């Protein structure tokens, strides 16, 4: 079947407005009964990157989660809200509590009776169909669910340009194993392939994106917020991400996951080929939505095995953005120290200090720093080449 993506306008997070938009988007796909049967365990895989309030625009908004919970319950399903948050929040009961409280999901559970996941166990499973990743650790509740509903948030990402449905599923990997993946998958193309492998393993029945307020610029933690005003729904993570990038005016083939998905024949590479229901992409287009400052062209350079092997450190230093902690903004909280897969950040004199010789430019530290204290800077040579080659 040709992939369909429902687009429904949703101007704000008032609960009745969100309830209507979420219902309408799922109805356009045939209604909740197409996805949930009575008695089924339904896991809502939200984006809980950090323990931050919904107004920061980092996590899936609780109003959207509540709307989906109510529909699942209406269909007779048993909703369970789950995620393994980003590296700054340990995947422990205490870490989950901190995240649920800050994000408003504790209150959603209290209001609706939905369950929150407290089980921090995981299992290593094999994925023979995986293109790159044949074995991986997955959190237990995902493996035990009858149905997975993926609930990403529309945000930019300094490394992937865009983080949506495909990237959201990285949260099924338990906390510590994420860091290992970052260290293993140094090449962005490999990382994108890994995300597609996780998507094909988890196979969410439904993807519902919170694109009411998105994040532009250097997301996914500290970019400026931007009204996008829509809820998107689809059976297909790749098709939904493609439409979302179309709405914010990005070239989908510059998003590593979408580029690799097209190369693997998971979609055609043209947003126009995706069937939209409800509003059209043109109707909800957001002009001048700011991409991240990192150019995807840098991915191609880093992906060249010869250059990487022989000139890796030089290329890394000059042709990638360097994460630079800023005195004055750094509170020495240590989140980046805990989340760095290379374990090369130390706190010296109340400032995070990075050993650049071993930095793989995964930008986990930038992603995890909710103080916005890590700037991404280019060397003089990198800036020159970037300008000459037409980078922005
Ligand atoms: S840079 Fe400073 S404020 Fe940011 S996560 Fe690291 S220690 Fe915390
Ligand atoms: S310092 Fe930052 S960018 Fe470098 S390896 Fe550590 S987390 Fe990744």
Answer yes or no: is the C-beta of 369 below 6 A from any ligand 1 atom.
Answer: yes
pLDDT value of residue 309: 52
CA distances from 287 to 11, 153, 214, 322 (A): 16, 19, 13, 29
pLDDT value of residue 297: 47
Instruction: Write the CB contacts of 40 (distance below 8 Å, at least 6 apart in sequence).
Output: 76, 77, 78, 146, 147
Question: Are both 21 and 45 inside the same structural domain?
Answer: yes
Q: How far is the CA of 322 from the centre of ligand 2 (A)?
A: 9
Answer yes or no: is the C-beta of 352 below 6 A from any ligand 2 atom.
Answer: no
Radius of gyration of the chain from its Cα atoms, rounded to whole angstroms: 20
Q: How far is the CA of 222 from the centre of ligand 1 (A)?
A: 13
> What's the token pair of residue 384?
């020159």
Residues of the chain with pLDDT under 50: 1, 297-305, 307-308, 389-392
Question: Are both 72 and 197 inside the same structural domain?
Answer: yes
pLDDT value of residue 76: 98
Tell the residue number behind the tokens 């922005």, with chain if given. 392
Question: Are both 241 and 149 inside the same structural domain?
Answer: yes
Residues 79 and 77: their CA atoms lie apart, in Å, by 6
Nearest CA to ligand 1 atom 3: 330
Tell whether 290 is covered by a domain. Answer: no
Q: Which atom of ligand 2 is nearest to the CA of 354?
A: 1
CATH number at residue 353: 3.30.70.20
Q: How far is the CA of 135 from the centre of ligand 2 (A)?
A: 25
Question: Are both 101 and 206 inside the same structural domain?
Answer: yes
Domain count, the chain: 2
Answer yes or no: is the C-beta of 364 below 6 A from any ligand 1 atom.
Answer: no
Q: Which of 184, 312, 323 is the best mutation target for the ligand 2 pocket, counting ligand atoms within 8 Å of the beta carbon and taking the most?
A: 323
Tell whether 60 is covered by a domain. Answer: yes
Answer yes or no: is the C-beta of 334 below 6 A from any ligand 1 atom.
Answer: yes
pLDDT value of residue 341: 74
Residue 222's CB: how many other CB atoms inside 10 A? 20
pLDDT value of residue 151: 98
CATH number at residue 135: 3.40.50
Question: Are both 347 and 265 inside the same structural domain?
Answer: no
Answer yes or no: is the C-beta of 345 below 6 A from any ligand 2 atom.
Answer: yes
Question: Are both 230 and 365 inside the same structural domain?
Answer: no
Instruction: Write the CB contacts of 139 (distance below 8 Å, at least 6 apart in sequence).
Output: 82, 84, 91, 117, 119, 120, 121, 122, 172, 173, 174
Domain boundary among 284, 312, 345: 284
CA-based nearest residue to 294, from 181, 157, 388: 157
Range of the domain at 83: 4-284
Question: Are both 148 and 81 inside the same structural domain?
Answer: yes
Nearest CA to ligand 2 atom 8: 362
Q: How far is the CA of 83 from the centre of ligand 2 (A)?
A: 23
pLDDT value of residue 183: 66
């Amino acid at each position: 079947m040709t992939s369909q993506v429902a687009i429904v306008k949703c101007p704000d997070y008032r609960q009745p407005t969100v309830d209507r938009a979420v219902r309408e988007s799922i109805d356009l796909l045939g209604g909740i009964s197409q996805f949930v049967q009575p008695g089924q365990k339904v896991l809502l895989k939200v984006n809980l990157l950090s323990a931050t309030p919904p107004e920061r625009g980092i996590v899936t908004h609780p109003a959207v989660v509540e709307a989906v919970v109510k529909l699942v319950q209406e269909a007779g399903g048993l909703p369970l809200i789950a995620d393994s948050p980003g590296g700054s929040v340990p995947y422990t009961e205490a870490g989950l509590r901190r995240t649920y409280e800050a994000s408003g999901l504790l209150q959603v559970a209290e209001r609706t009776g939905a369950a929150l996941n407290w089980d921090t166990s995981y299992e290593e499973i094999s994925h023979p169909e995986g293109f790159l990743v044949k074995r991986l650790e997955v959190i237990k509740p995902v493996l035990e669910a009858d149905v997975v509903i993926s609930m990403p948030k529309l945000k930019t990402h300094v490394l992937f340009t865009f983080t949506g449905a495909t990237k959201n599923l990285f949260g099924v990997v338990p906390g510590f194993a994420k860091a290992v993946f970052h260290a293993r998958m140094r090449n962005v193309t490999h990382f994108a392939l890994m995300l597609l492998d996780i998507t094909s393993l988890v196979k969410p029945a439904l993807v519902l994106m919170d694109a009411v307020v998105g994040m532009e610029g250097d997301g996914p933690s500290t970019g400026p917020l931007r009204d996008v005003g829509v809820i998107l729904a689809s059976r297909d993570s790749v098709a939904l991400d493609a439409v979302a990038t179309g709405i914010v005016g990005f070239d989908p083939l510059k998003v590593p996951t979408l580029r690799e998905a097209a190369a693997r024949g998971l979609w055609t590479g043209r947003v126009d080929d995706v069937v939209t229901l409800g509003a059209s992409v043109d109707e909800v287009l957001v002009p001048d939505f700011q991409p991240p400052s990192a150019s995807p062209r840098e991915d191609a350079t880093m992906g060249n095995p010869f250059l990487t092997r022989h000139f890796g450190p030089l290329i890394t230093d000059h042709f990638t953005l360097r994460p630079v902690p800023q005195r004055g903004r750094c509170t020495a909280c240590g989140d980046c120290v805990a989340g760095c897969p290379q374990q090369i950040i130390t706190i010296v004199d109340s400032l995070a200090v990075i050993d650049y010789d071993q930095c793989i430019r995964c930008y986990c530290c930038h992603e995890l720093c909710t103080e916005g204290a890590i700037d991404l800077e280019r060397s003089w040579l990198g800036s020159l080449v970037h300008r000459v080659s037409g980078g922005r």
